[in-house]
Amino acid sequence: MHWYFYLDRTYHGLSKDQYEDNLKKIMAVDTIQGFWSVYDHIPKVSSIKLRSSYFLMRNETRPIWEDPVNRNGGSYKTRCIKENTEDVWRELLLASIGEQFSKDLKPYDDICGVSISIREKSDVVQIWHANANNKENFITYQLLPTITLEQAYYKSHQDHQAFEGVNARQTAKMNRP
CATH number of the structural domain spanning residue 36? 3.30.760.10
| Mean predicted confidence (pLDDT) in 161-169 | 41
pLDDT at 152 over 50: yes
Question: What pLDDT is attached to residue 119?
Answer: 94
What's the number of domains the chain is made of? 1
- pLDDT the model gives residue 8: 94
pLDDT in tens, 42-89: 999 999 999 999 999 999 899 998 888 888 888 888 888 999 899 999
Q: Does 138 have pLDDT greater than 50?
A: yes
Q: Is the pLDDT of residue 136 over 60?
A: yes
For the chain, the C-alpha Rg in angstroms (whole number) is 15
Per-residue pLDDT of 109-122, as tens digits, reads 688 999 999 999 99
What's the pLDDT score for residue 30? 92
CB 54 within 8 A of CB 45: yes
**Nearest C-alpha neighbor of 149 from the set 76, 98, 97, 95:** 76
Please tell me the predicted confidence (pLDDT) of residue 133. Answer: 78
**Residue 161 lies in domain:** 3-173
Percent of the chain with pLDDT over 70: 75
Sign of the dihedral through C-alpha 107, 158, 51, 16:
positive
